[in-house]
Amino acid sequence: MNTMEEFTYKRAGVDIDEGERFVTMISPLVKKTFRKEVLTDIGSFGGLFRFESAKYKEPILVSGTDGGGTKLKIAFLMDSHSTVGIDLVAMSVNDILTSGAEPLFFLDYFATGKLEPEKAAMVIDGIATGCRESGCALIGGETAEMPGFYQEGEYDLAGFAVGVVDKAKIIDGMDIREGDTLVGLASQGLHSNGYSLVRKVLFEHSKMDVSTHVPDLGTTLGDELLRPTRIYVKAFNALKERVRIKGIAHITGGGIPGNLPRVLPEGVGVVVREGSWPVPAIFRVIEKMGNVPVYDMKRTFNMGIGYILVVPEKEAGDAVGLLKDAGFDSYVIGTVVKGKKEVRYE
């Protein structure tokens, strides 16, 4: 007698029970990020956030989104997943902060072929850490189990941040003038950009791997490459009431030449002073091992400067001092000059 074979969702590769266990695991992590404005609990169809508009004369919402990028490949090779969530938050939050916005809340998207709750919980723990560092609430997200779509043991990440700024306090660079000063805030190494070139140079060309100890770095290659992106919210908060910030650039893919012009008004350019800040060793290692042209290094990586503030010349010293008190290394790295929104190194 013929019998019909039974198929279930679990047999197809999606385990609902494991998904529910995952939600139980991450709930305490997420709740630690909640602000008083959060009105929903974990598991709701939508995240509710009470917007206190009375705090603002003319509130403007600012949003930003980004993904994990190919830095995730390093996490897979290392089987280390506690920092990539910080990167995810940092990339979006640092972007909206360039407008002077206070981050309010964050949502994440985690997708994988087969959900491994313990591994996924490490990722969410990193996201929660980033949210606490930036003062925003993790009010929702999506966990997608997609059999056959991702390679075994791999996952993808995306995130979305929303902030608010009073219209009169929006930082858009339009007041930047000749003579203003560039204050560069130190990065924590590569942050989250240029990893396709990094893997090509260090892994494919130089035949190194994540366990290789590099004397110039003082650590293994994998540990260096997984340093999380720095979040600059506390740096901005230390200055916003005490220094006039005219423009802010988040130095991501494209480096200083590709990102600083985005905040410059017509009629000006900038001169960046070579040697005005210490360049982390990882950049020298990449340049040497891959014989990467200096131009490409500058157009690919942050080269040790993760954020740039444009301030009046007479306030630059105060800015550097206040940032140091807040725990951020910063340097006077250049000047605004007449020009056509170009970056020139001298």
Q: CATH number of the domain at 110, please.
A: 3.30.1330.10
In whole angstroms, give the CA distance from residue 104 to residue 85. 17
Average pLDDT over residues 189-218: 95
Average pLDDT over residues 334-344: 97
Task: Say yes or no: 215 and 340 in one domain.
Answer: yes
pLDDT in tens, 279-326: 999 999 999 999 999 999 999 999 999 999 999 999 999 999 999 999
Task: Say yes or no: 197 and 152 in one domain.
Answer: no
Distance in Å from the first CA to the final CA of the chain: 85
Task: Say yes or no: 324 and 206 in one domain.
Answer: yes
Q: Specify if 7 maps to a domain.
A: no
Q: Which pLDDT score, from 0 to 100, does residue 8 have?
A: 73
Q: What is the dihedral of CA 43, 47, 50, 53, to 10 degrees?
A: 170
Task: Say yes or no: 201 and 338 in one domain.
Answer: yes
Q: What are phi and psi of 322, to 5 degrees?
A: -65, -40
Indicate whether 2 pLDDT > 60. no
The answer to whether the pTM exceeds 0.85 is: yes
Q: What is the dihedral of CA 148, 149, 153, 155, to 10 degrees?
A: -160
State CA 317 to chain mean position distance: 27
| Residue 240 belongs to domain with CATH number | 3.90.650.10
Q: What are phi and psi of 144, to 5 degrees?
A: -110, 120
Domain housing 82: 16-169
> Of all residues in the chain, what percent carry a pLDDT higher than 70?
99
Res. 23 pLDDT band, cuts 50 70 90:
confident
Task: Say yes or no: 78 and 54 in one domain.
Answer: yes
Number of domains comprising the chain: 2
For the chain, counts of helices (H) and of strands (E): 11, 12
Indicate whether 167 pLDDT > 90. yes
In whole angstroms, give the CA distance from residue 238 to residue 172. 19
Indicate whether 1 pLDDT > 60. no
Indicate whether 206 pLDDT > 80. yes
Q: Specify if 11 maps to a domain.
A: no
